[in-house]
Amino acid sequence: MPLDISAAQPDPALLDLPWSTPLEDWPADLLAALPRGISRHVVRFAHLSGGIVAVKEIKADIARNEYRLLRQLRRLDLPCVIPLAVVTGRTDADGQPLDACLVTRHLQFSLPYRVVFGQHLREDTAIRLADALAALLVRLHMTGFFWGDVSLSNTLFRRDAGAFSAYLVDAETGELHDSLSDGQREHDLDLAQTNIAGELMDLAAGGYLPEGLDPIDVSADLIDRYRGLWQELTGDEWFDSGERWRVDERIRRLNLLGFDVDELAITTDLDGTHLRIQPKVVDAGHHSRRLLRLTGLDVEENQARRLLNDLDSYRAATDRQGDDESLVAHDWLTRVYQPTAAAIPSELRAKLEPAEIFHEILEHRWYMAERVGHDVHIRDAIRDYLREVLPSKPDEQAVLGTDTQMLPTTDEETR
């Protein structure tokens, strides 16, 4: 059988990879130093066309199905890794068949959960990861995606203005439907609670989990957060006909959670004294879409909220509340954000994403002002942050240099 590479946008450099060699034997000069963990499949990270790709060796029908599902999720604008290709028809030097490979693009500045805990972060790290995974699961379920293998291992995390954003990296067991039944959602929740508790217990056994943090409590808290968010996004709400302001309040609550309301269903009861409101279509990314429209910056949701807050502060400080928002946004971009990003030395740019660095500089400026008792100019905050804070942070663009022997081997990129 001849080698077959199926890709929506084929990269000729794919032909240069050693497909006739079993993946576990690929030469070291092709591989990127990224962390791997416990896996039921062989996974390698390889250099390709100036970037990094994740390659997973699996059966051909599974690879094709996962590639198809990931492409569908990307078209639905859901956070997941980008599928690049499926390689089938592989044979070794003796003509013996080899498993197919699924190739996905490495998600820059992303972290497997084990690497996050390996940095000995604050005790609330597990809660923030659980929050991010709960929000991801809600978004997937609202789109009709049944995951079938919910876990921290099958997720990558990117920093998002002090929180985390979660990305699906394994659609191997997934199914996409028009909508999910309550039973399908509950099945995913049961899997999530069991898997996450087990993963955190494993971390605790290795000494990576902060003392006093109960894995059972964290996994249960994720389920509670999922149910609260699901109710807020989809639940009915009844109120008196004289409380019409609560319609706007419901929309504002959803916006604060980062969701846009496309349509609301409002009905009255038989005697017309009560109104019932229910969101019909809710899309995530309210703040990131607004920031993208105003500035062209494409960032995570909490980062966008933070940047928009700074834009509002800039508007007030320059007394331009009456000016066109897009004009003020352009001035803020060219006079505040871009000069800040440009001030980051090239050797430090792999530490964090520019938007995350900007958020941290704003936080650093606030702490400096609190310490000295008066406002601090942004230029002073930038200089102090670049001198005292950023150099000590690990490079997160690709987590290069991570001691992979300290981490179990999961295929966080592609499982």
Residue bearing tokens 């871009």: 338
pLDDT digits (tens, 9 = 90+) for 78-89: 999 999 999 999
Q: What percentage of the chain exceeds 90 in pLDDT?
A: 40
**pLDDT grade for 90, boundaries at 50, 70 and 90:** very high
Name the β-bridge partners of 48. Answer: 51
Calculate Rg over the CA atoms of the chain.
24
- Residue 62 and residue 114 in contact, taking contact as beta carbons nearer than 8 Å: no
Residue bearing tokens 């834009």: 311
CA-nearest of 230, 74, 234 to 137 is 230
pLDDT digits (tens, 9 = 90+) for 149-192: 999 989 988 887 777 889 999 999 999 999 999 999 999 999 99
Residue 179: what pLDDT? Answer: 93
CA-nearest of 221, 222, 200, 220 to 211 is 200
Measured distance CA(127)–CA(140) in Å, rounded: 20
pLDDT digits (tens, 9 = 90+) for 219-268: 999 999 899 888 888 877 776 766 666 777 777 777 777 666 655 666 77
> Which CA distances in Å does 196 have to 128, 160, 185, 362?
13, 21, 16, 33
Please provide the DSSP assignment of 44-63 as one string. EEEEETTEEEEEEEE-HHHH
Name the β-bridge partners of 175. Answer: 146
pTM over 0.85: no
Pairing status of strand 110-111 against strand 155-160: antiparallel
Residue bearing tokens 């400080």: 317
Question: Amino acid identity of 175?
Answer: E
Residue 300: what pLDDT? Answer: 86
Name the β-bridge partners of 212. Answer: none
Residue 400: what pLDDT? Answer: 43
Residue 35: what pLDDT? Answer: 61
Mean pLDDT for the stretch of residues 20-46: 83
